Amino acid sequence: MKILITGVAGFIGFHTTKLLCETDNQVVGIDNLNNYYDVLLKQARLKHLEQLSNFHFIKLDIANNVEIQKLFETQKFDYVIHFAAQAGVRFSLENPHAYVNSNLTGFLNILECCRNHPIQHLVFASSSSVYGLNETIPFSEDQNVDHPVSFYGATKKSNEVMAHSYSHLFNIPITGLRYFTVYGPWGRPDMSPFIFADSILKEKPIKVFNYGNHQRDFTYIDDVVKGTIKALQCIPSSDLEWSALTPKPNSSRAPYKIYNIGNSQPVELLYYIECLEKFLGKKAIKEMLPLQPGDVEHTFADSSSLMKATGYNPNTPIEKGVELFAKWFLNYYYS
């Protein structure tokens, strides 16, 4: 298969590309290498990927419609996995235009390319952030997601709606994956595992929001990648039982599907910090703070739909995942 992966220098993009190349697929990866977080880390990920003979990297911004169209015209992709996006909940409070440019305009460009240069399947990254004010636990794809509490979450909800319209109008098979707190080696520096580990080792206070009462459905990167590839291979078709009178939010008469992709085992934030302390060999200095704007208190994925459709089976316990992350972190930054 010839696969385009956008956001290839990102955390999930890097790991997904690596596994796809190792299983004899041809991957073209694009990324704009912006400075939202450490560009050197992105370049280090790319350095690993560029050692693979069936990988080709092109520096490209998905918001550049002319260049994206040229890419699709010349490459003739079979599949597209779209990870490229402006990430981060709190960053969206101060920089909303960055999210419009990447998450809305950029995604529209990808959809237009898939319309004009037919592919077999588009898989795109949504987020657990779409659940917003929802308080029904666990989060299920059947639940309403009309009340996001961050602009980042709003753009991801918008992606789902945009994708459905293109799937309906142009018969494009599209799957959206709502990722739940992905962590592991080569992770993002703006996420709590990275921030906590860095502060613990430097003996700086870590900011524990909501006074530590958060629960997060931490999902290890290897489980996420396997689930993503299984979803790529599971091309959606029209749901013949779908009815406008009792509509199912995660399917349609169009070849369109939405899945949660999480570990389905929420972990108390304070226990997660304990695990980090254990494997880093240092105690954390905790600064207990109230809930921040844009944050949700709990995430808990009901991933049964993806499991049923693809055989997705996350099996990395939090203790093992944190140990592997801590080993990588110490080796990458302190060896």
145 touches 157 (CB < 8 A): yes
* Cα–Cα dist 46/225, whole Å: 17
- Cα distance between residue 203 and residue 190, in whole Å: 18
Buried-exposed string 232-249: b where 16+ CB fall within 10 A, e elsewhere: bebebebbeeeeeeeeee
46 within 8 A of 64, measured Cβ to Cβ? no
Residue 84, amino acid: A
In angstroms, rounded to a whole number, what is the distance separating the alpha carbons of residues 195 and 267? Answer: 18
Token pair 């220098």 is found at 9
Is 232:313 a contact under the CB 8 Å cutoff?
A: no
Catalytic choice (79, 152, 179, 272): 152
At residue 56, the 3 state secondary structure works out as: strand
Q: Is 256 a catalytic residue?
A: no
What's the rounded Cα separation, in Å, for the pair 239 and 257?
9
Specify whether the CB–CB gap between 296 and 201 falls below 8 A.
Answer: no
Query: How crowded is residue 66: how many other Cβ atoms within 10 Å of its Cβ?
Result: 8
Helix (H, G, I), strand (E, B) or coil at 331: helix
Is 58 in contact with 30 (CB distance < 8 Å)?
yes
Active site residues: 152
